[in-house]
A and B are shown apart, each in its own frame.
Chain A
Amino acid sequence: MPTVTVDGIEVELGADERLNGIQAARRAGVEIPHYCWHAGLSVVASCRMCLVECGKKDPATGKVAMQPRVVPACQTPAAPDTVFITASDKVKNARAMVEEDLLLRHPIDCPICDKAGECSLQDYHFEHGREERRADIQPFTSRRRELGETVTLFVDRCVMCTRCVRFTREVSGTSELMVINRGAHEEIDVFRNEDGEIRFPLDNKLSGNVVDLCPVGALGDKDFLYRQRVWFMKSHDNVCAGCSTGCSIKVEENQDRIHRLKPRENPHINGWWMCDEGRYGWKHVHDPARLTQLRRRETGKLVSADWHTLPAQLENKLRAAGRLGAVLSPHLTVEEAYLLAMYIRVLDPEAVLAVGPIPTSGEDEHFRGGFTIRAEKCPNRRGVEAIVSRVGGSLLTWDDFLAQVEAGSIGGAWITGGYPSAWHDAADAEKFASVKTLVVQDVFASPLWDRADFQLPGATFAEREGSYVNATDRLQSFKWAIRPPAGVKTEGQLYWQLLGRPGLYRASEVLAEIAREIVYFAPAAQGVPEVGVDLKVTQLAASAELVASAGG
């Protein structure tokens, strides 16, 4: 096994692993500071913050020959027998000089900078910089320039790492950003007309990522700008519900109010990125029009109900309604869909299960760096379909269900929504005229909601707990990030209560149960890591099972 030595610690490398000095050091638990290097972008070695001493160990004699000068760790391959020294006086001095140089032209307007608290320049200065500022420059306010609809540039805060420029060239493939001027006058900018007006604004669908990439406060997200200081927010791992790519994200909130979404590194799905549609796609969570009143219809009139007495009322009405049907929205988590299917099947073992409408818009969009925005605008079609087809026996769509309802074969229907925008029209709702008991669980008012005998306000993605299965059959679990508004009960908690299970809803317990029951979910039985599990490995087994059952 080839090894690399970092500060005396031996690191083992995989057979065909290609790491640079920063990555090898990270494996040894040593953090090498860096600005311009990013694992998802090409290497330019321009910031000089990652300078280290480097040498080669002779495997035969064990003698180490060091290079006389410091080298950038990001550009130095961690070849077998390489020796890195990151804590010598030479390296410390080099880092302090780089920090001092960057701060020469930096405005130090940290009090009003949105990046303060998560800024590499701040952190590295405390760790590696000089204790005293030798330059005689007073703090000043940075110049500001717009780059497009979503992103603004604070020109003087920039450290010219060019991560954003490389991102638009290598990942989004749109190349809006460039470096203008030379030497100490270098600045980031978009292409402009002679009068300074923007010719090609930064407006690609991944543009928000440049703000996350920026190691300092130069690029600001206009949606988040000045809304909240970063140290007040708590970050929760979650999964984006915007499309069926299911990017790993972080929901950042303060006191149950979301302030921004950020991508979370996941090499299997989204790399380090997320699209703007997903990034700003949380506004419906705090929409004042959200439904929060639990109501039921009594002798034709809607009266308010309460969650404690609801289970008994629901059961009475649904048992008396005749044939039951449930529509499982692709916004439900796997666990919630399973629990609802179980509940309906307990009331009526022959109940009809169908998948809710699948919202689509346009075509799948592929970007140069491999990122994909799917046309399917729901997070969990695959997961819910798997539940419907395995528990329900066959895979019914929304249209199939509407046809059955119109034919009058369904007496009691449980409809789950959770879509951020309108998902059916009045004509669809008309078809439910023959349904005796209609239960609708949704986040926004709709024609079906108005018809419902039981109006149950539901949760949005940030309030749910459970798992989504994305378009490539990868299952990711997440916990709730914020509590739902007063009056709302999340689907999972309600179904848990309806099934008479004790205590609070525990998604991981339900998932373990599903993994035992349904072979498609079997890989999730051993728990789900942060990057999710691939369910495809069992598809072969599942199809073999189908063939066997068809043959037998």
Chain B
Amino acid sequence: MKADDPNIKWIEEPKLGLAGKMYLPLVAQGLTTTWKHLSKSLRGETVTVSYPDEEPKIGNPLIYRGVHRLNKDEAGRVKCVACFLCATACPAHCIDIIADESPWSDREKYPQSFTIDELRCIYCGMCEEACPVDAIELTSLYNLTGRSREEMIFDKEKLLSVYDATKEQEPMQSPALGGTAT
């Protein structure tokens, strides 16, 4: 693109007055955010909590990105069909799946093993986005600890147990695909 291109619109810099030259309006503008927060905390609307004595409040647990879970279908079987789309989408390469023919007649493929390295995960939620059957979801469990690195590599059983622990508070989404949310 050349300088004389008709698509270029040239704009003149606005002329500054005396207040502008002394930066006063900008100083006041910059301090408004500070004052807003100051007045909020003076009114007692603080968000800081004294963790761990006090648990923080999570706004919407359905969109929070915490520990993963593997959902189960109505028959209690793992919903995952081992399509590897989560592993493909994962930018941290923390999902490892071994697929096999499923032992059930209504399903062709299932994960023989499904492990997530929770330490390697960056909790971006891409796996949840990629999953075509809503089998993998991120829960609102955030306080994840362990004594060793091995302990933090979650296998299929562990991920299914996270589902059992959180299914009441965070029901599965999309009823069309077997979700229980209304």
Contact with B along A225-260 (1 / 0, CB 8 A): 111010110000000000000000000000000000
Beyond the given pairs A111-B85, A112-B81, A112-B82, 6 more chain A to chain B contacts, judged by CB atoms under 8 angstroms and listed by A's residue number, are A111-B83, A112-B83, A141-B107, A226-B109, A229-B83, A232-B88
**A-contacting 9-mer, from B33-41, B57-65, B98-106, B151-159:** B98-106
A residues in contact with B123, CB < 8 Å: none
Task: Count how many pairs of residues, one from A and one from B, have CB atoms less than 8 Å apart in the complex.
Answer: 29
> Can you name 26 A-B pairs with beta carbons within 8 Å?
A109-B108, A111-B81, A111-B83, A111-B85, A111-B132, A111-B133, A112-B81, A112-B82, A112-B83, A112-B108, A112-B109, A141-B106, A141-B107, A141-B108, A144-B108, A225-B101, A226-B82, A226-B99, A226-B100, A226-B101, A226-B109, A227-B99, A229-B83, A229-B84, A229-B88, A232-B84
Please report which residues of chain B, range 120-146, place their CB below 8 angstroms from some CB of chain A when the two chains form the complex: 132-133
Count of residues in B whose CB is under 8 Å from the partner chain: 15
Q: Which residue of chain B has its CB nearest to the CB of A111? A: B83
Once the chains are docked, how many angstroms separate the CA of A144 from the CA of B101?
A: 12
A residues in contact with B85, CB < 8 Å: 111
Contact with A along B71-92 (1 / 0, CB 8 A): 0000000000111110010000
A-B pairs with lowest CB-CB distance, top 3: A111-B83, A112-B109, A226-B99
A residues in contact with B108, CB < 8 Å: 109, 112, 141-142, 144
Q: Report the minimal beta-carbon distance from B107 to chain A, rounded to whole angstroms.
A: 7
A residues in contact with B88, CB < 8 Å: 229, 231-232
Q: Report the minimal beta-carbon distance from A483 to chain B, rounded to whole angstroms.
A: 20
Once the chains are docked, how many angstroms separate the CA of A18 from the CA of B88?
A: 44
Once the chains are docked, how many angstroms separate the CA of A229 from the CA of B81?
A: 13
Contact with B along A125-166 (1 / 0, CB 8 A): 000000000000000011010000000000000000000000
Q: Which residue of chain B has its CB nearest to the CB of A231? A: B88
B residues in contact with A109, CB < 8 Å: 108
B residues in contact with A142, CB < 8 Å: 108
B residues in contact with A111, CB < 8 Å: 81, 83, 85, 132-133
B residues in contact with A231, CB < 8 Å: 88
Q: Report the minimal beta-carbon distance from A391 to chain B, rounded to whole angstroms.
A: 49
Q: Which residue of chain B has its CB nearest to the CB of A225? A: B101
A residues in contact with B83, CB < 8 Å: 111-112, 229
Q: Report the minimal beta-carbon distance from A69 to chain B, rounded to whole angstroms.
A: 40
Once the chains are docked, how many angstroms separate the CA of A438 from the CA of B170?
A: 70
Q: Report the minimal beta-carbon distance from B79 to chain A, rounded to whole angstroms.
A: 12
Once the chains are docked, how many angstroms separate the CA of A144 from the CA of B100?
A: 15
Once the chains are docked, how many angstroms separate the CA of A93 from the CA of B63?
A: 42
Once the chains are docked, how many angstroms separate the CA of A111 from the CA of B101?
A: 14
B residues in contact with A227, CB < 8 Å: 99
Q: Report the minimal beta-carbon distance from A467 to chain B, rounded to whole angstroms.
A: 36
Q: Report the minimal beta-carbon distance from A106 to chain B, rounded to whole angstroms.
A: 15
A residues in contact with B84, CB < 8 Å: 229, 232
Q: Which residue of chain A has its CB nearest to the CB of B84? A: A229
B residues in contact with A112, CB < 8 Å: 81-83, 108-109
Q: Which residue of chain A has its CB nearest to the CB of B81? A: A112
Q: Which residue of chain B has its CB nearest to the CB of A226? A: B99
Q: Report the minimal beta-carbon distance from A241 to chain B, rounded to whole angstroms.
A: 29
Once the chains are docked, how many angstroms separate the CA of A141 from the CA of B85?
A: 18
Once the chains are docked, how many angstroms separate the CA of A354 from the CA of B141?
A: 69
Q: Which residue of chain A has its CB nearest to the CB of B176? A: A138
Q: Report the minimal beta-carbon distance from B36 to chain A, rounded to whole angstroms.
A: 47
Once the chains are docked, how many angstroms separate the CA of A112 from the CA of B97?
A: 13
A residues in contact with B99, CB < 8 Å: 226-227
Q: Report the minimal beta-carbon distance from B104 to chain A, rounded to whole angstroms.
A: 11
Once the chains are docked, how many angstroms separate the CA of A229 from the CA of B85?
A: 9
Q: Which residue of chain A has its CB nearest to the CB of B85? A: A111
Once the chains are docked, how many angstroms separate the CA of A142 from the CA of B81?
A: 14
Once the chains are docked, how many angstroms separate the CA of A225 from the CA of B85?
A: 17
B residues in contact with A144, CB < 8 Å: 108
Q: Which residue of chain A has its CB nearest to the CB of B83? A: A111
Q: Which residue of chain A has its CB nearest to the CB of B100? A: A226
Once the chains are docked, how many angstroms separate the CA of A109 from the CA of B82?
A: 12
Interface centre among B81, B83, B107 (most CB of A within 10 A): B83
Interface centre among A144, A229, A231 (most CB of B within 10 A): A229
